[in-house]
């Protein structure tokens, strides 16, 4: 989902009344970022409070490549990483994940082995193979066991876009919240639904209701679901004791536009890139009785901050034995105090850019290759800027491309290298980058090796369903990451 997909962020058709109301009752973040322009690494960052380069969710197979956890990935979230639910257990929290895990699907990477008490959802996204013949369809789990597979037991109609998954995920959330309220136990709910990832879907009630096609239908259903969750908290009388945060794992995938892609507003490019459209996200904090209604924050935020902020809300300190990149946002949320901090834009093993204040310096630029571009794969359709959205990896470490995001949020006009403004801003940014590099100890890369033998052939529970498939002979290879 992109920055421009919500009415509160300027989407003109105003089809997100519940999220817009959430913003009007809480705090809107205008400068909130993901830790990576792709799904798996950003989710690993959210749950560990650490950059993907630290927690291992990157690849060294090629320079500056986006990588995630497809079915044949061998790696996953390392045992050495401490995840948010593991720490919240110390304060008596019951933790549930609903939806996409995407941090490794082999048994040792299972979410219930990393602090979650309950799980309903899938280890991967709902992408193909769709027919369960040559390759296995993605399984859906309830806790430790598979209860079916996408496109078989959990239908997604690729012709009409109809699927009831968001409604299933919504009911799971409402039921969990009700049970925790009845038992008077504190809880952490990670509602990580698949929508609006391609192939985009929506339930029958929402199909054809948006001015923005199937993608808009999916956004409307998400909006409706969030509204029902917030109303449920109010109905149960626990809204003032529940902190809710809405955001996305990466920018809208413009490559899927116009039929299945969203909007990143005025920002450049989209998912897969380290331009603003790929990493600046819609973000809303909601906590009645604590956050004054209608607040707008210019605090530079990141999904990693949700790790540290959640620990603070639970009265816990972050681990002291490792570098934590996320900061506690409560001073900004509750007191309006802006915290000076940089934002680092990583793509695989490379720091592509850094933001300090309103200045953003690009040390590397790359959207995707000329080969892909020639095949119609374009991460910046209709937005390409000569010398900026390059189709070869261009290094600018000697003279970074510098943009003032206040005057030029679309990153179209780099400042002159000779200007006093450029030299002054880069002097400050260079110090931040140097300090960052001195503290950087990369984790063991988890996204290097792929093997069809580790795919979801025979997940736990497949025997009961008669849905076990025979895996092929193991043949580990380097994963291929084209961009």
- Residues catalogued as catalytic: 39, 102
Closest CA to 69 of 111, 103, 36: 103
The Cα–Cα gap between 353 and 401 comes to 9
The Cα–Cα gap between 148 and 137 comes to 9
Polymer length of the chain = 483
Q: Which residue in the block uniquely carries the two structure tokens 């430790």? A: 144
The Cα–Cα gap between 316 and 87 comes to 8
250: annotated binding-site residue? yes
450: annotated binding-site residue? no
Name residues whose C-beta falls within 8 Å of residue 210's C-beta, 6 or more positions apart in sequence: 13, 15, 216, 217, 219, 220
269: annotated binding-site residue? no
In which element (H, E) is residue 339 found? none
Is 57 in contact with 44 (CB distance < 8 Å)?
yes
Burial 253-285 (b: 16+ CB within 10 A, else e): bbbbbeebbbbbbebbbbbbbbbbbbbbbbbbb
In DSSP notation, 134-154 reads SSPPPEEEETTEEEEEBTTTB
Which residues belong to the annotated binding site?
A: 39, 249-250
Binding residues for Ca(2+): 39, 249-250
């Amino acid at each position: 989902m992109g920055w421009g997909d919500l009415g509160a962020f300027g989407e003109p058709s105003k089809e997100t009344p519940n999220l817009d109301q959430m913003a009007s009752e809480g705090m809107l973040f205008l400068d909130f970022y993901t830790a990576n322009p792709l799904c798996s690494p950003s989710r690993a960052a959210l749950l560990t409070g650490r950059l993907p380069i630290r927690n291992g969710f990157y690849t060294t197979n090629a320079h500056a490549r986006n990588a995630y956890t497809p079915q044949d990935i061998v790696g996953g979230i390392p045992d050495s990483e401490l995840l948010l639910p593991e720490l919240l257990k110390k304060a008596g929290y019951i933790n549930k994940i609903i939806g996409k895990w995407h941090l490794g699907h082999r048994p040792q990477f299972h979410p219930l082995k990393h602090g979650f008490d309950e799980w309903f959802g899938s280890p991967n996204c709902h992408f193909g193979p769709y027919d369960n013949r040559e390759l296995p369809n993605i399984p859906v789990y309830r806790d430790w066991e598979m209860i079916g597979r996408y496109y078989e037991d959990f239908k997604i109609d690729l012709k009409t876009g109809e699927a009831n998954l968001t409604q299933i995920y919504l009911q799971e959330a409402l039921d969990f919240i009700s049970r925790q309220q009845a038992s008077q136990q504190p809880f952490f709910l990670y509602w990580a639904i698949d929508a609006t990832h391609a192939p985009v879907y929506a339930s029958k009630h929402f199909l054809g209701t948006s001015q923005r096609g199937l993608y808009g239908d999916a956004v409307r259903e998400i909006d409706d679901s969030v509204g029902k969750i917030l109303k449920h908290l109010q109905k149960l009388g626990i809204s003032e004791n529940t902190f809710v945060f809405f955001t996305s794992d990466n920018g809208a995938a413009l490559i899927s536009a116009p039929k299945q892609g969203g909007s990143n507003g005025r920002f450049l490019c989209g998912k897969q890139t380290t331009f603003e459209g790929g990493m600046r996200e819609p973000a809303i904090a909601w906590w009645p009785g604590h956050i004054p209604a209608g607040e707008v924050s210019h605090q530079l935020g990141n999904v990693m901050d949700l790790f540290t902020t959640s620990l603070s809300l639970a009265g816990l300190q972050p681990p002291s034995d490792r570098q934590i990149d996320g900061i506690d946002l409560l001073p900004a949320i509750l007191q309006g105090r802006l915290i000076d901090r940089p934002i680092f834009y990583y793509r695989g093993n490379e720091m592509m850019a850094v933001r300090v204040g309103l200045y953003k310096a690009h040390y590397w630029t790359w959207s995707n290759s000329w080969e892909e571009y020639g095949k119609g794969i374009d991460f910046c359709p209709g937005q390409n800027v000569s010398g900026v959205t390059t189709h070869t990896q261009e290094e600018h470490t000697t003279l970074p491309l510098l943009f003032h995001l206040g005057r030029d949020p679309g990153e179209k006009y780099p400042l002159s290298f000779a200007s006093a403004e450029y030299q002054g801003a880069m002097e400050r940014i260079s110090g931040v980058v140097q300090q960052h590099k001195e503290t950087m100890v990369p984790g063991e890369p988890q996204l290097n090796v792929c093997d069809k033998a580790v795919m979801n052939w025979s997940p736990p529970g497949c025997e009961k369903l008669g849905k076990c498939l025979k895996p092929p002979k193991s043949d580990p290879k380097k994963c291929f990451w084209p961009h």
